[in-house]
Amino acid sequence: MICQPCKQPFKQDENAIACDTCDQWFHQICVSMDIETFITHTNDVDIPWHCSDCTILLENENRESDTDVVIQPDNNEKNKKKVDKLRILVCNFQSIWSKRNSLEKFFKDHQIDVVIGSESHLKERTKNSEFLPPHYLAERRDREDGKGGVIIIYRDWMKVDQIPNKVPEIVTVKIQTHQKPVIVSACYRSMYNSKEQNKQLAEEITDICKKYKNHHLWIGGDFNLPDIDWNTNSITSNQYSKELNEQYLEVFETSGLHQMVNFTTRKKAILDLMLTNRPGFVSNCSPVPGFSDHDTAVLLDMICHPQRHKPIQRKVMCWNRTDFTALRNDVRDKCRILCNTTSDETPVNEIWNGIKNMVKVCQ
């Protein structure tokens, strides 16, 4: 590991700091940081620090995002780095457990960052580590009968907090970014929902949109609303009641949500939706093979610059400075003490605790 400006390796007694955006390390003196500022960042990991290149990048993003304009691609490779995107997958799993062996390859092939999943079919006793690919975490809501269920999967370097929900078939998280946080919800409206359950889910979505109206909202999942033509926001068939369809159309409209999926996800219907209050930040929405009888899943690229967990500064041991003679003498003395204070009748646990205490003293 080397300092980016001076290209020199770090020594044990040198102050160094990592950029929260690019994760590169820098000598304190190489970035002209005074010692007070360095101590402040070292003691409080929640205070972000960005190198000069990333500071310029973020300033450009802030100016562009304030105008709510989609940033056009540029042929210049350097300019492309100014726009960071999260790749979102919206899909119906119909048992994520049965697909666990194929998830890792799918996530890797499609470079998935966040998954908004419905019908996860997980039970509470199932641990995330039992089915998630490496380097992914999840927040989920499971049903007692092991059916239904919703899940949000995200990369482990992202700063994510779960937001409590009142109704079962919705899970919501807040993704910390270098701009405004992003609120992500995964929903599942079962075709067997009662009138009251449909009302509760609609009210929960409304409450989220009101509470976080100044944030970026990404609300996705299987809503089972095949009667709606999303190009015109009109009801074109009657598989479900007119009242139900109008209820959700009104919720989406009054909450300022735009439905982004314009291709079928199960047979000839659009069941898996992606709703956002910032449609200008969706740079791509395309179909990919699905995981269930929903033969198509939704893949989106969302313009976003998420925060990363600050890496822990490693302690580098300089073994070439070790006084091995003193080390051997110290070990010999401690072994002598241990032998003098124990006998053949001393319990093993007591001997082991004595060894551990000696090691702690050495540290």
CATH number at residue 284: 3.60.10.10
Domain count, the chain: 3
Of residues 291, 240, 229, the one with CA closest to residue 262: 229
Same structural domain for residues 280 and 211?
A: yes
Is the same domain home to 298 and 203? yes
Number of H-type helices and E-type strands within the chain: 8, 16
By the 8 A CB rule, do 254 and 206 touch? yes
Does the predicted TM-score (pTM) go above 0.85? no
| One-letter amino acid of 127 | K
Q: Could you tell me if 112 and 217 lie in one domain?
A: yes
Q: Range of 337's domain? A: 322-357
Instruction: Note down pLDDT in tens along the chain; length 363 residues.
Output: 678 778 788 777 788 888 877 778 888 888 878 887 888 777 766 677 888 777 766 665 554 444 443 434 444 434 334 348 899 999 999 999 999 999 999 999 999 999 999 999 999 999 999 999 999 999 999 998 889 999 999 999 999 999 999 999 999 999 999 888 999 999 999 999 999 999 999 999 999 999 999 999 999 999 999 999 999 999 999 999 999 999 999 999 999 999 999 999 999 999 999 999 999 999 999 999 999 999 999 999 998 889 888 766 666 667 777 788 888 888 888 888 888 888 888 898 888 888 888 877 665
Sort 149 into a burial class: Cβ within 10 Å, 0-12 / 13-18 / 19+: buried
Please state whether beta strands 85-92 and 114-118 pair in parallel, antiparallel, or not at all (unpaired): parallel
Distance CA 225, CA 190 (A): 10
The helix (run of H) or strand (run of E) holding residue 216 is strand 216-222
Both 51 and 163 in one domain: the answer is no
Q: How far apart are CA 222 and CA 298, in angstroms?
A: 11
| 289 and 145, same domain (yes or no) | yes
Whether residue 283 is found in the same domain as residue 347 = no
CA atoms in the 13 A half-sphere facing the CB of 356:
6
- For 59, residues 6+ apart whose C-beta sits below 8 A from its C-beta are none
Same domain for 173 and 288, yes or no, is yes
Cα–Cα separations (whole angstroms), residue 285 to 275, 279, 341: 12, 11, 71
